[in-house]
Structure 1
Amino acid sequence: MAKLKIPEDIEVLKQRVILALGDVKSVQESTKADKNFLFTAKRTDAGRTLPPYYLVFFLLNDLLGFKNLGRFEKISWSLPIDFRGKAFLIEHRKFGLGVFADNLETDEIEAQEIVKNIHKAVKVAKPYFEWVASEAVKSSKLNVKNNSSNLFQRYQYLVELYKKEKQEAEDRKDEVHRETKKTSYGEATSIHIPSTQLRKNANWLATSSIEAFFSWTEHLFVHLSIIGKNIDDGEKVAHLAGAEWQVKYTTAININIKENKKFFDELILLRRQFRNFIAHGAFGKNGETFTFHSSAGAVPVLMPHQKGKNKFSLFGELSFNEDEVISLLERFIEHLWSSEIQPAMYYVMDSGLPTILTMANDGSYSRAMVSMEDMESFVEHLNYQFDQAANMDW
């Protein structure tokens, strides 16, 4: 890691952190340790409850300068520490971060105290971690976590449930159940039509499918922008992540291409009419749910003649042509996989990898975007590197 630029008040913070660490100190020449300690130290139970590995490393190595012995087979980093004159190791190994000791029977209690003190120090050092994170964003040395596949699976799951419920409603449309009961006022007959509830269920599932679609694409477009449009600045990516859906779409996808623009126009209309209505607690933005009193009865404040281009009716009941909407979403998804951004779609949806801003900056993504073959080869190589790192095979 490059040398960090230290903020002016860092010395005050350091002293507070050192105080919180108590007897946890960097290893000294006088620290007692067996000559083979580095090779025989064993994982303590207490060490399993340490804070996340990166916080511990930033705390002890970056902030306080504890010595790092470096990488070994299946070990990412190793910090020897002194606790009341005795040696311990804090290491990030393949199976997780831990406190390692010479004798588990006698050293477990001390390990618990070490962990307790590190937790205290991590809380005190919070301003430092926030500063480190902000500096990383400014320098654009970032990986952006990719949840696109999981979000898409949620959408697919809801769409399949919608189709199943809709089909069952159709299959049972002629089914009627009548039940007659005797009451003190005579016989009363109730009628139950299963397809009515099934159609309601289908409508609710379609609504959830649309929300899941926009949730997925909000996330997807950020990653596509990094890979396909070389958005390599951390602050720009952070800004894009918080931008409106239409901004994300037009950043990721070239709307100068006729088909891309056509889908944009249809989807933004759907989003504005439908999803905004749901997002505002089914009140909408324009009085869609309000009616006024008249001699004719209750009248919608936003009457039919005001609908304009409203393709998906939201007036009266919350109803819409589910098949039409779901068909639009499915056609758009097919289009993404056959459009000029197909290589980027493959990376984001099939690789399971994060997007890496430094690779947008150095042209790695641009070179891979030339063809599907180039992208597949690039993803295979990158996955190999990630596997090597995960296994700590240095």
Structure 2
Amino acid sequence: MNLFTDESLKKHMSTIMHAIKPVDPDDPGFAMSIGRPRHRFRVDSQRFPIPGVVRVIFELVGARDLGQAEKLAWEYCFKFDGVACSMAHQKFGLRLYIDSTAVTSEEEAQAIHDQVTKKLESAQRSLEARQLRQFADEQILQGRMTIRNQYRQLRQIYEYFREGAILAFSGQGRLNPDLPDGGRIFSPRATEGFYNTVGMVSAYFSLLEHTLVLLLPFTTFDPAKSTVTAFIGRNWGDKFREVFPLSKDSSSKEKFDTLHRVAEDYRNTYAHGGFGKSGATFLFHMEGVGAIPATLSDIRGKSHFSFTPVDADDFSRVCLAFDSTDEWLKRESALCAMRWIESGLDVYYDEDFRSLAKSAMESPHLFDSFIEYHSYLGDQAANMDW
């Protein structure tokens, strides 16, 4: 689907934006024209949160783009009821310019601003409903998409709870052992350590799932066979097995088994309302005896049947498992890809990026240059330093 060659869509957009007409071919615009008299309005970002959609609208109605300049991504010139105007995407947002030689009063200029933005809002709603949602779905299915890299943020959440557990087990936690009703918490260190450990485990698996999704384009992933959205919908174990096939590498199997045990003992029970698998938290009734755990003697080692479910030794073992996995990812299984992820750069899934990444991964030095180049492009775009 090519939006810009869709004549019916162009006609529809032109109908909505009917007062907007092309300007003279030699019109210099306003954003980069020094001394040209103009009214300048900041366009509300809440009304137009995606400047790219505004750009698509102006392309469809035939407005002229003056291109990039310092701190300027684009500027479209047009006439509104015969008055020269332009819409510019500058470093700090969208700006609407109106020729002040044709419209001298601020009130009249404000009225034009209100009319232009109102029509743009109508066009934006229509474009998104009629075309962009379907177009977005098609692009994502084909892997022509970017996923925001949230690795640092998710890792900080994990580290926050981990630090909380360390402080709690060392007696420096913030949990008050005295309860409001006059009672006391039994073993406040272990109790607060348990709370933070559960939070830490949940945060780590969230980080792990995000990392596995970001690793995907650095593998043999092919969107023609399996979509990114389908991959995201799988559980962490299925994601892990696809990125690191267990049958091909004994270390992958070892890491998976370790993580699986941690997930079963410290994550799954508390992530699903406190209920373990196979009735792990159920007790059956036996007359004359009382309530007996459904897991029978397998209760040994089940954290949810302990008075303090996690102690300092349990916490240390979990940390060791996570540290070992992190080290394995960074040093052995995904050396280059983890460098990209830790750089904070977003990840792309289209064929061009996957091909370039595959070539760059032939050597760490080449891959470092690959990261440096994309970091430069990202900084250039963010600062509009063209």
Report TM bin, short chain: 0.7 to 0.9
What are the equivalent positions in structure 2 for 1:356-375 lying under 5 Å apart?
356-358=348-350, 363-375=355-367
What are the equivalent positions in structure 2 for 1:126-145 lying under 5 Å apart?
126-127=128-129, 128-145=131-148
TM-aligned CA distance change 1:42 to 1:49, over 3 Å:
farther
Of 14-23 and 93-102, deviating more is 14-23
Equivalent position amino acid for 1:330 in 2: D
Q: Quick check: 2:75–2:89 contact (8 Å CA) kept in 1?
A: yes
Task: Kindly state the Cα deviation for residue 336 of structure 1 after the two structures are TM-superposed.
Answer: 1.7
Q: Quick check: 2:149–2:214 contact (8 Å CA) kept in 1?
A: yes
Separation (CA, whole Å) in 1 of partners of 2:377 and 2:326: 30
2:340 matches 1:347: yes
- Structure 2 match to 1:153: 156
Task: Kindly state the Cα deviation for residue 379 of structure 1 after the two structures are TM-superposed.
Answer: 0.9
2:90 matches 1:93: yes
Separation (CA, whole Å) in 1 of partners of 2:230 and 2:111: 47
- Structure 1 match to 2:67: 70
Task: Kindly state the Cα deviation for residue 45 of structure 1 after the two structures are TM-superposed.
Answer: 3.0
Equivalent position amino acid for 1:323 in 2: S
Q: Quick check: 2:202–2:271 contact (8 Å CA) kept in 1?
A: no
2:301 matches 1:301: no
Match of 1:110 among 96, 109, 112: 112
TM-aligned CA distance change 1:316 to 1:157, over 3 Å:
closer
Of 74-83 and 212-221, deviating more is 74-83
TM-aligned CA distance change 1:49 to 1:281, over 3 Å:
closer
TM-aligned CA distance change 1:156 to 1:42, over 3 Å:
farther
**Secondary structure in 2 matching 1:134:** helix
Instruction: Provide structure 2 residue ranges, at least 5 long, that are not aligned to the other structure.
Output: none
- Structure 2 match to 1:60: 58
- Structure 2 match to 1:261: 253
TM-aligned CA distance change 1:36 to 1:252, over 3 Å:
closer
Of 322-331 and 42-51, deviating more is 42-51
**Secondary structure in 2 matching 1:43:** strand
2:317 matches 1:324: yes
Q: Quick check: 1:141–1:358 contact (8 Å CA) kept in 2?
A: yes
Task: Kindly state the Cα deviation for residue 69 of structure 1 after the two structures are TM-superposed.
Answer: 2.8
- Structure 1 match to 2:278: 286
- Structure 2 match to 1:233: 223
**Secondary structure in 1 matching 2:278:** coil
2:338 matches 1:314: no
Q: Quick check: 1:43–1:101 contact (8 Å CA) kept in 2?
A: yes
Cα deviation, 1:309-354, whole Å, max 9, x if unaligned, reads x8654336682433322221122112222213122111101x1111
Identity %: 25
- Structure 2 match to 1:185: none
Task: Kindly state the Cα deviation for residue 27 of structure 1 after the two structures are TM-superposed.
Answer: 2.3
2:223 matches 1:221: no
- Structure 2 match to 1:81: 78
Of 213-222 and 36-45, deviating more is 36-45
TM-aligned CA distance change 1:22 to 1:69, over 3 Å:
same
Separation (CA, whole Å) in 2 of partners of 1:217 and 1:164: 24
Equivalent position amino acid for 1:347 in 2: W
Equivalent position amino acid for 1:368 in 2: A
Task: Kindly state the Cα deviation for residue 192 of structure 1 after the two structures are TM-superposed.
Answer: 4.6
- Structure 2 match to 1:243: 234
Separation (CA, whole Å) in 2 of partners of 1:311 and 1:161: 24
The two structures have a TM-score, normalised by structure 2, of 0.82
The two structures have a TM-score, normalised by structure 1, of 0.80
Separation (CA, whole Å) in 2 of partners of 1:238 and 1:192: 48
Task: Kindly state the Cα deviation for residue 121 of structure 1 after the two structures are TM-superposed.
Answer: 2.0
Match of 2:374 among 374, 382, 386: 382
TM-aligned CA distance change 1:192 to 1:47, over 3 Å:
closer
Separation (CA, whole Å) in 2 of partners of 1:35 and 1:152: 48
TM-aligned CA distance change 1:368 to 1:297, over 3 Å:
same
Equivalent position amino acid for 1:80 in 2: C
Instruction: Provide structure 1 residue ranges, at least 5 long, that are not aligned to the other structure.
Output: 178-189
